[in-house]
Amino acid sequence: MPRTRSAVRSPGHASQFARRLLADRVTLACLAILLIIALAAIFAGHLAPADPLKTSMAKRLKPIGTPGFWLGSDELGRDVLSRLIYGGRMSLLMGTWPVVNALIVGGTLGVVAGYAGGWINMAIMRTVDVFYAFPSVLLAVAISGALGSGMKNAIVALTVVFIPPLVRIAETAATQVRGLDYVEAARASGAGAATIIRVHVLPNVLGPIVVYASGLFSVSIILASGLSFLGLGVEPPQAEWGLMLNTLRQAIYVQPWVAILPGAMIFATSICFNLASDGLRAAMELRT
Amino acid sequence: MLNYVFRRVVYAAPIAIGVTLLVFALLHIAPGDPINAVAGPDAPADVVEALRRAYGFDKPLPVQYLLFLRRILSGDLGVSVATGRPVSGELAAAFVNTLVLALGAALMGFVAGVALGAAAGWRKGSITDRLATLVSLIGVSIPHYWFGMVLVILLAVEARWLPAMGMGTGLGDLAVHAFLPALTMAVIPTGIVARTVRAAVGETLEREFVQALRAKGLRRGAIMRHVARNVSPTLIAVLGLQFGYLLGGSILIETVFAWPGAGFLLNEAIFKRDLPVLQGILLMLAMFFVLLNLAVDVIQAWLDPRMRRA
């Protein structure tokens, strides 16, 4: 039975996306958790019960549940709960900022490479291939190690690590669009390159690249905290989950459950990012 | 087939050169005069000048790069600033240690991942499937350095079943010491392999030829053998990549477990600002990764002739 066109206008893409998203409880829960973590980080000053930098030699390595140190105290007597809340700032920043940067730089490079074609394409893509020759952790550690420790250098290192895959995705999408008939028609009717890119190429590139980038957030958080764990990211005495995990390592024989708390935060955040990005991807699925 | 191999090797050559360029450039993006990295902080001025001329830092950059290239092609990876010993010697031992760990982790991850993925792909939507999906999710979301710490707490601190760090002495002791770090490293490949195998097996089982096999009366084991042959190219590719990441990412686990491998050496080199060792390790690991990718592509093309046209 042939399908007839509905007499009623079917809902647009955006509201379909919203409806699918709102029906997906797992994704909503994860987005809610992420929002809570983010808000806690932003309003850390109001939420944290103690000063995250205040040390106390007498109150070192107290267990969970000690009054005044509800999640215990670290090896310098600082309140772990407060440091976890404040640490969220650094960890979330180092986890999200490189992905956003890489999205902009990588997306632009990919679109340029895909649309221009020819030797520009070859130059950009072969350079990207060289970066692909390094496993990501190694590249991040190498660049971060060469530049020196510090949050800014770590963000630069991670941005460089995430640019190659995003360039590849953008280039593939842009190349596909370039060959389509209506782009030919647009060019024939006199549209300039900038217009064609803005109107035709970008909307088709944004979908895949944003979906992929959303999956990168969880990797970025783990890598960023990993760099701090190695001593290459945030510097002491700042609070950051990876750094806390490093300094609390010696404490695993004394207060093991306090020592693993920062890592649990990284794990929880990473899982939420992963599930949320999967859910967003499912909700964005184009109807067939 | 040979044509493909030849083309692939030709393609890999400029990448290898690019890798040397990148490693060379790292020494120069480091803040401060690169000569300080090689000479050490308190070398007298005349030693600094002699080293500057010996390393060619007074020459223009392209010439420096070519000298660097010539040096490493002859196998001279320089001398460690910290220990004064040639880099290649220290690297070889450390690399072997990392390989031991990576192989152990790859084996564990492969077996667990394939088992989980195949079981899940065979019965989509079942409990096995959900379990496999959960394990995959954990595998890719968990910070493995944290997982290592948790395992150490559970098995080495609380239960005292296994040692918490180091390599031990002798072969049997080595296996005992390697178990925890290898298990820790195995989580990531388990997750990714399980996910890939599940998708590939599920997709293959839906193809028409499987229906024909079932109609012919083949039992599950025989059908899975057919499925395995179809899935293996993708699986090999994923495994190769994962092995490469295990090698490159070992630095975090080796730090947690004080395992004297290439990653541990890399960590030390970064903190002592021992840039010759840093360059040596990077070069070695990256080149290995390039060769690994080459091998994976060739094996894939051998297993699945359709890939040879690429």
* Chain A residues touching B269 at Cβ < 8 A: 145
- Structural contact between residues B166 and B256, judged by C-beta atoms closer than 8 angstroms: no
pLDDT of A1 above 60: no
Q: Is residue A246 in some structural domain?
A: yes
pLDDT of B56 above 80: no
Cβ <8 Å between A226 and B278 = no
Q: Within an 8 Å CB–CB cutoff, is residue A271 touching chain B?
A: yes
**More confident: B276 or A247:** A247
The CA distances from residue A239 to A87, A235, A249, A261, in Å, are 5, 9, 15, 13
pLDDT given for residue A10 in this prediction: 54
User: No. of H helices and E strands in chain A?
Assistant: 13, 0
Cβ <8 Å between A275 and B137 = yes
**More confident: A238 or A21:** A238
Which of B279, B244, B258, B246 is CA-nearest to residue B90? Answer: B279
Q: Cα–Cα distance between B154 and B266 in angstroms, integer?
A: 28
Q: Residues A21-32: what's their mean pLDDT?
A: 82
- Structural contact between residues B185 and B144, judged by C-beta atoms closer than 8 angstroms: yes
- Structural contact between residues A143 and B26, judged by C-beta atoms closer than 8 angstroms: yes
Map residue A73 onto helix, strand or coil.
Answer: strand
**A95, amino acid identity:** G
Q: Is residue A174 in some structural domain?
A: yes
**More confident: B154 or B165:** B154
Q: Is residue A71 in some structural domain?
A: yes
Q: Within an 8 Å CB–CB cutoff, is residue B30 touching chain A?
A: yes
Cβ <8 Å between A253 and B157 = yes
pLDDT given for residue B81 in this prediction: 66
Most B CBs within 10 A among A91, A130, A163, A267, hence the mutation to make, goes to A130
Most B CBs within 10 A among A91, A94, A129, A134, hence the mutation to make, goes to A134
H runs (alpha helix) in A25-135 = 25-42, 44-47, 80-116, 118-132
| Number of alpha carbons in the 13 Å side-chain half-sphere of residue B248 | 27
Q: Is residue A256 in some structural domain?
A: yes
pLDDT of A46 above 60: yes
Q: Residues A188-192: what's their mean pLDDT?
A: 79
Cβ <8 Å between A137 and B248 = yes
A-facing residues of B in 87-146 (CB < 8 A) are 137-138, 140-143, 145-146
Q: Within an 8 Å CB–CB cutoff, is residue B291 touching chain A?
A: no
**More confident: A219 or A211:** A219
What is the domain count for chain A? Answer: 1
Count of pairs with CB atoms under 8 A, one residue in A, one in B? 133
Cβ <8 Å between B249 and A231 = no
Map residue A69 onto helix, strand or coil.
Answer: strand
Q: Is residue A183 in some structural domain?
A: yes
**B58, amino acid identity:** D
pLDDT given for residue B55 in this prediction: 62
Cβ <8 Å between B150 and A126 = no
pLDDT given for residue A99 in this prediction: 94
Q: Cα–Cα distance between A66 and A144 in angstroms, integer?
A: 38
Cβ <8 Å between A129 and B15 = yes
pLDDT of A98 above 90: yes
Q: pLDDT digit string (tens) for B90-148? A: 888 888 888 888 998 999 999 998 888 888 888 777 787 888 888 888 888 899 889 98
- Bridge partners (DSSP) of residue A66 are A69
Q: Residues B208-228: what's their mean pLDDT?
A: 81
* Chain B residues touching A141 at Cβ < 8 A: 251, 266, 270
pLDDT given for residue A285 in this prediction: 66
A-facing residues of B in 139-198 (CB < 8 A) are 140-143, 145-147, 149-150, 152-153, 157-158
Q: Cα–Cα distance between A30 and A41 in angstroms, integer?
A: 17
Which of B144, B137, B255 is CA-nearest to residue A266? Answer: B144
pLDDT given for residue B82 in this prediction: 67
Cβ <8 Å between B141 and A218 = yes
- Structural contact between residues B204 and B223, judged by C-beta atoms closer than 8 angstroms: no
Q: Is residue A7 in some structural domain?
A: no
pLDDT given for residue B169 in this prediction: 60
pLDDT given for residue B171 in this prediction: 62
pLDDT given for residue A161 in this prediction: 93
pLDDT of B175 above 80: no
pLDDT given for residue A288 in this prediction: 34
Q: Is residue A5 in some structural domain?
A: no
Q: Is the peptide bond before A237 cis (omega within 30 degrees of 0)?
A: yes
Q: Within an 8 Å CB–CB cutoff, is residue B276 touching chain A?
A: no
pLDDT given for residue B197 in this prediction: 87
pLDDT given for residue A287 in this prediction: 40
Q: What is the pTM of this model?
A: 0.84
Q: Within an 8 Å CB–CB cutoff, is residue B240 touching chain A?
A: no
Name the minimum distance, in Å, from the CA of B22 to any CA of chain A. Answer: 8
Quickly tell me which residue has 């190659």 as its tokens.
A164
**SS3 sequence, chain B?**
CHHHHHHHHHHHHHHHHHHHHHHHHHHHHCCCCHHHHHHCCCCCHHHHHHHHHHHCCCCCHHHHHHHHHHHHHCCCCCECCCCCCEHHHHHHHHHHHHHHHHHHHHHHHHHHHHHHHHHHHHCCCCHHHHHHHHHHHHHHHCCHHHHHHHHHHHHHHHCCCCCCCCCCCHHHHHHHHHHHHHHHHHHHHHHHHHHHHHHHHHHHHCCHHHHHHHHHCCCHHHHHHHHHHHHHHHHHHHHHHHHHHHHHHHHHHHHHHCCCCHHHHHHHHHHCCCHHHHHHHHHHHHHHHHHHHHHHHHHHHHHCHHHHHC
pLDDT of A102 above 90: yes
Determine which of A19-23, B17-21, B128-132 has the lowest per-residue pLDDT on average: A19-23
Banded model confidence at residue A105, pLDDT cuts 50, 70, 90: very high
Q: Residues A10-18: what's their mean pLDDT?
A: 68
What's the CATH number where A271 sits? 1.10.3720.10
Name the minimum distance, in Å, from the CA of B19 to any CA of chain A. Answer: 6
Buried b (16+ CB within 10 A) or exposed e, A185-202: ebeeeebeeeebbeebbb
* Chain A residues touching B29 at Cβ < 8 A: 146-147
Which pairs with CB-CB distance under 8 Å and at least 24 residues apart come from B210-213? none
Nearest-by-Cβ selection for B141 from A130, A252, A274: A274
Name the minimum distance, in Å, from the CA of B92 to any CA of chain A. Answer: 18
pLDDT given for residue A100 in this prediction: 94
ipTM value greater than 0.95: no
Domain membership of residue A161 as a residue range: 14-284
- Structural contact between residues A146 and B27, judged by C-beta atoms closer than 8 angstroms: yes
Q: Is residue A44 in some structural domain?
A: yes
Banded model confidence at residue A269, pLDDT cuts 50, 70, 90: very high
pLDDT given for residue A23 in this prediction: 75
pLDDT given for residue A162 in this prediction: 94
Q: Cα–Cα distance between A16 and A4 in angstroms, integer?
A: 21
Q: Cα–Cα distance between B242 and B116 in angstroms, integer?
A: 17
